[in-house]
Chain A
Amino acid sequence: DSGVTQTPKHLITATGQRVTLRCSPRSGDLSVYWYQQSLDQGLQFLIQYYNGEERAKGNILERFSAQQFPDLHSELNLSSLELGDSALYFCASSVDGGRLDYGYTFGSGTRLTVV
């Protein structure tokens, strides 16, 4: 158990819908990272939050948004879903916002299937 908790593990939804993926970081970690693993794009960094504020942005679509709450859990919101959004979404957490955290690990992922 990495200490990073992602829910739900699986999600099936229809095109055009909106879903929310949740990530609880390891205890004490202030930073949360979201990654998307899709068949065509591979594993890509989406966005990072540090202590409630956006720290870095990657290849995140405008239809996607994220936030980090005062209790430090994070949610990734995906809207107007398309078939191509089907992917495995990973969350990771770290203590610091940028300095390498040697305990940095990934959650087990949420598998999203858009039908």
Chain B
Amino acid sequence: AQKVTQAQTEISVVEKEDVTLDCVYETRDTTYYLFWYKQPPSGELVFLIRRNSFDEQNEISGRYSWNFQKSTSSFNFTITASQVVDSAVYFCALSETDNFNKFYFGSGTKLNVKP
């Protein structure tokens, strides 16, 4: 079974629109970490955020915000006032107690932001 599900394969928005990328995870551990990475067309993986399972506070960083809800096993990512430079593939990932540096990635959501 998939540990991390990103149901949205591709999303297209017009610049300045808000967009939310969904991530649902599955784990039996009580201690785990969740991550979001951005992969621009150049291919590298850019770290955006990590969250541990005990911290359900939502986080905001500039135009980015994250909503972690343990009750629904979701860790959604919202970009406010999207820009063309936000166009990329975004990955959600999970790591578990046995090895916190071993990541299970979702299949990614490709975000297209049009001018």
Residues of A near B44 (CB, < 8 A) are 106, 108-109
Bound complex: CA A109 to CA B46 (Å): 12
- Residues of B within 8 A of A (CB-CB), count: 19
The reply on A26 being an interface residue by CB < 8 A is: no
B31: nearest chain-A partner, CB-CB: A100
Question: Is B101 an interface position by the 8 A CB rule?
Answer: yes
Asked if B101 and A33 sit within 8 Å, CB to CB, the answer is yes
Cβ contacts under 8 Å, B106 to chain A: 42
Contact indicator B99/A98 (Cβ below 8 Å): yes
Nearest chain B CB to A44's CB is how many angstroms away?
7
Roughly how many angstroms separate A42 CA and B90 CA in the complex, as a whole number? 12
Binding site for B on A (CB under 8 A): 31, 33, 35, 42-45, 48, 55-56, 58, 88, 90, 92, 94, 96-102, 104-106, 108-109, 111
